[in-house]
Amino acid sequence: MIISEKKPLEEVLEYIKGAQKVIVTGCSLCATTCKVGGEEEIEEMKNILQENGKEVLGVKLLDPSCNVLKVKKDLKSLKEELKEADAIISLACGDGTQTVAKNVKIPVYPGNNTMFIGEIERVGQFSESCKACGECELGWTGGICPVTMCAKGLLNGACGGAKDGKCEVNPENDCAWIKIYERLKELDQLDNLTNIRPAKDYKKCANPRHINLKKKEELAKA
Verify that 76 and 168 share a domain, yes or no. Answer: no
Query: Quick one: what percent of the chain has pLDDT higher than 90?
Result: 87
CA atoms of 90 and 42, how far apart (whole Å): 9
Mean pLDDT (the chain) is: 95
Verify that 95 and 46 share a domain, yes or no. Answer: yes
Asked, for residue 121, whether it belongs to a domain, the answer is no
How much is the pLDDT for 209?
83
What does the DSSP assignment read for 55-77?
A: EEEEEEEESSTT-HHHHHHHGGG
Verify that 19 and 64 share a domain, yes or no. Answer: yes
pLDDT tens digits along 91-122: 999 999 999 999 999 999 999 999 999 999 98
Verify that 94 and 36 share a domain, yes or no. Answer: yes
Q: What Å distances lie between residue 27 and 65, 67, 107, CA to CA?
A: 5, 10, 18
CA atoms of 31 and 40, how far apart (whole Å): 11
Asked, for residue 50, whether it belongs to a domain, the answer is yes
Q: What Å distances lie between residue 177 and 12, 36, 119, 138, 187, CA to CA?
A: 40, 33, 20, 13, 15
The H or E element spanning position 23 is: strand 21-27
pLDDT tier for residue 191 given thresholds of 50, 70 and 90: very high
Q: Which residues contact 159 (CB under 8 A, 6 or more apart)?
A: 152, 168, 177
Asked, for residue 46, whether it belongs to a domain, the answer is yes
Domain span at residue 191 reads: 136-205
pLDDT at 75 over 90: yes
Asked, for residue 39, whether it belongs to a domain, the answer is yes
Verify that 18 and 101 share a domain, yes or no. Answer: yes
pLDDT tier for residue 222 given thresholds of 50, 70 and 90: confident
pLDDT tier for residue 217 given thresholds of 50, 70 and 90: confident
Verify that 82 and 186 share a domain, yes or no. Answer: no
Mean pLDDT across 66-85: 97
CA 101 to chain centre: 17
Nearest partner of 89 among 50, 34, 33, judged by Cα: 50
Asked, for residue 57, whether it belongs to a domain, the answer is yes
Verify that 155 and 192 share a domain, yes or no. Answer: yes
pLDDT tens digits along 13-40: 999 999 999 999 999 999 999 999 999 9
Neighbours of 221 (CB within 10 A): 6
Verify that 156 and 110 share a domain, yes or no. Answer: no
* 3-state secondary structure at position 116: strand
User: Is residue 96 within 8 Å of residue 65, measured between CB atoms?
Assistant: yes
Q: What is the CATH number of the domain that holds 67?
A: 3.40.50.2300
Question: Which class for 172: exposed (0-12), middle (13-18), buried (19 or more C-beta within 10 A)?
Answer: exposed
Asked, for residue 28, whether it belongs to a domain, the answer is yes
Q: How many domains does the chain have?
A: 2
With b meaning 16 or more CB within 10 Å and e meaning fewer, what string describes 57-86? bbbbbbebbbbeeebeebbeebeebbeebb
Verify that 72 and 162 share a domain, yes or no. Answer: no
Q: Which residues contact 13 (CB under 8 A, 6 or more apart)?
A: 52
Q: Is the pTM of this model over 0.85?
A: yes
What is the distance in angstroms between the CA of the first residue and the CA of the last residue of the chain?
A: 35
Asked, for residue 166, whether it belongs to a domain, the answer is yes
How much is the pLDDT for 181?
97
pLDDT at 49 over 80: yes
CA atoms of 139 and 156, how far apart (whole Å): 15
Asked, for residue 129, whether it belongs to a domain, the answer is no
Verify that 100 and 143 share a domain, yes or no. Answer: no
pLDDT tens digits along 132-187: 998 999 999 999 999 999 999 999 999 999 999 999 999 999 999 999 999 999 99
